[in-house]
Structure 1
Amino acid sequence: MENPPPYQPKYVMLNSNNSTNLRAPPQRRNVPRYHSSDPGKSKGSCCLKCLCCCFIFWFLLIILLGGAVYYLYIVLQPEIPRYNVKGFEVNAFNIQHDFSLHTELAVTVKSENPNQHIGFLYGEDSSVLVTYNDSILCAGKLPTFLQPHANTTIIQILLKGNSEFGSSLQEALMQNREAGKIPLLVEVKAPVALVIQQFPTRLVTVLVNCSLVVDSLSAKKEAKILSSTYHYGVEL
């Protein structure tokens, strides 16, 4: 048998000399492949990096602030000041013609600052109220002053006021007078700033409630304090 003629391609490429001996042009060899990047993935990576940086920043800031507060607490060793009502003088306690009650009290308060490195600056807009049976008898305010560290200060507070003297108040007061035990509530509200190394901090409002029991409220006489209870609070 004779071998079949070799297969001839339908199309051939000729050069300018009508020859089929062609080589691929250089630009057709090893064509580089470009991988298209996904824009969504790059944006997500940037957001993740930003979140990580923010988290690290806040974490380090919290650690630094916590360390500073701990250091100040160890070095300064802050303590709450102590207050004590030492005197309660009744200058006036009279019923007026319109059946109102006129009251004048002179209260002596002992303020002790036990801190060795912290002072207290008492600002303006303070208030002191004395109430009996939920009725305000008189009011006044604290003086503005700076109490140094490791210091004891005696504060004189003059309180005045007129209040309605109804039948229920009269009856309750008569019963307490006969028993020789008159309950009073002294409410103090004062803006106070800490002073550290002669630098005052921001003002905070200190609240002090003192429940007193005195033996009498007779005019021109100093009342004897039978018992006292103190409660403290702070408003930032």
Structure 2
Amino acid sequence: METQPPYQPKYVMLNSNHSTNLRPPPKRRNIPRYHSSHPGKSSGSCCLKCLCCCFLFWFALIILLGGAAFYLYSMLQPEIPRYNVDRFDVNAFNVQQDFSLHTEFVVTVKSDNPNQHIGFQYGKDSSVVVTYKDSVLCAGKLPAFLQPHSNTTMIQILLKGDSEFGSGLQEALMQNRKSGQIPLLVEVKAPISVVIRDFPMRQVTVLLNCSLVVDNLSPKKKARILSSTYHYAVEL
């Protein structure tokens, strides 16, 4: 009775000597080719997202503020108030025994506020100075008051002063009196707050220089204003 040949495996491993070796290879651990996470890339993407969010936030804020400013401007339609020296009265213009000059003027300023929704609050710390050829003649201050919207106010300013009046100024003044053209400079410095519908805003300082030419400086006589030039400036 024939014996069957022993069972032969389906796969045979040959060594270098062409001999069969049926020992299986040792088990090996499969090493993954790629890492499951990349910490460097994830932190960089987070920073980029934060920058994008900040940029979008500031861009939206600028758009909102610009839209609000445009809306307020179109609704309020702000205009600069207009000032004009309406009267220049001379109460005193006397040379004293010590050759000093005593002057007393009353200057009436017309303030016109054309705004329909904006008023102006005039503060206390104001000053008004009248000079002749760089020499101070007299000084005073504006009254503190609130000028409402769509309003015209006549402001009377009392100015007094005693100043040195040398021979040079006397000769120049005599020549101006003969010609009927006396140049004066009125300098106004006033703190003003813009009031929007009863809400005062930040206070600013308004500077007004008015170059006047009057025909006389005789006491108790109204001086006629021949010409006037105005220059404005604002200090924040």
Shift of 1:152: 1.0
Q: Name the residue aligned to 1:150.
A: 150
Deviation at 1:96, TM superposition (A): 2.2
How many Å apart are 1:54 and its aligned residue? Answer: 3.2
Cα 1:127–1:44 shift into 2, 3 Å: farther
Matches within 5 A, 1:132-171: 132-171=132-171
Deviates more, 1:167-176 or 1:194-203: 167-176
Equivalent in the alignment of 1:21: 24
1:156-192 residue CA offsets vs partner (Å, 9 max, x unmatched):
1001112221222112111111100001111111111
Residue 15 (structure 1) aligns with: none
1:64 corresponds in structure 2 to 64
For 2:15 and 2:47, the matched residues in 1 are separated by: 65
Which position in structure 2 is the counterpart of 1:211? 211
Q: 1:87 maps to which residue?
A: 87
Number of aligned residue pairs: give it: 220
Distance apart, 1:68 and its partner CA: 1.3
Partner of 2:11: none
Which stretch of the first structure deviates more once superposed, 153-162 or 95-104?
95-104
1:190 counterpart residue number: 190
Residue type matched to 1:94 in 2? Answer: N
Aligned match of 2:112: 112
Q: Distance in 1 between matches of 2:48 and 2:95?
A: 76
Task: Report the Cα distance in structure 2 between the residues aligned to 1:23 and 1:198, rounded to whole angstroms.
Answer: 92
SS in 2 for 1:103: strand
Map Cα deviations across residues 92-151 of structure 1 (whole Å, 9 max, x no partner).
111223322111111111111111111111112111111111111111111110011111
Q: Which residue of 2 aligns with 1:179?
A: 179
Q: Partner of 1:102 in structure 2?
A: 102
Taking the aligned partners of 1:51 and 1:164, their CA distance within structure 2 comes to 69
* 1:44 to 1:134, Cα distance in 2 relative to 1, 3 A: farther
> Any unmatched runs of 5+ in structure 2?
1-13
Q: CA RMSD in A?
A: 2.3
Task: Write the letter of the residue equivalent to 2:24.
Answer: N
SS of the aligned residue for 1:201 comes to: strand
Q: 1:209 to 1:34 in 2, by over 3 A?
A: same
Shift, 1:220, TM fit:
2.1
User: Matched residues in 2 for 1:169 and 1:57: separation?
Assistant: 66
**CA distance in 1 between partners of 2:115 and 2:234 (Å):** 18
Q: What TM-score does the superposition give when structure 1 sets the normalisation length?
A: 0.84
| 1:7 and 2:16 matched | yes
Letter in 1 for 2:189: K
Residues 1:197 and 1:44: Cα distance change in structure 2 (over 3 Å):
same
Q: Is there any run of 5+ residues in structure 1 with no aligned partner, and where?
A: 13-18
In 2, Cα distance between the equivalents of 1:45 and 1:187? 63
TM-score (normalised: structure 2) = 0.84
Runs of 4+ in 1 over 6 A off after TM superposition: none
Instruction: Provide the C-alpha distance between the structure 2 equivalents of 1:102 and 1:8, rounded to a whole number of angstroms.
Output: 135
What are the within-5 Å matches in structure 2 for residues 43-62 of structure 1? Answer: 44-62=44-62
Paired-residue identity, %: 74
State the Cα deviation string for residues 17-51 of structure 1 (Å, max 9, x = none): xx833551xxx343224537464x66654544444
**Change in 2 beyond 3 A, CA 1:54/1:219:** same
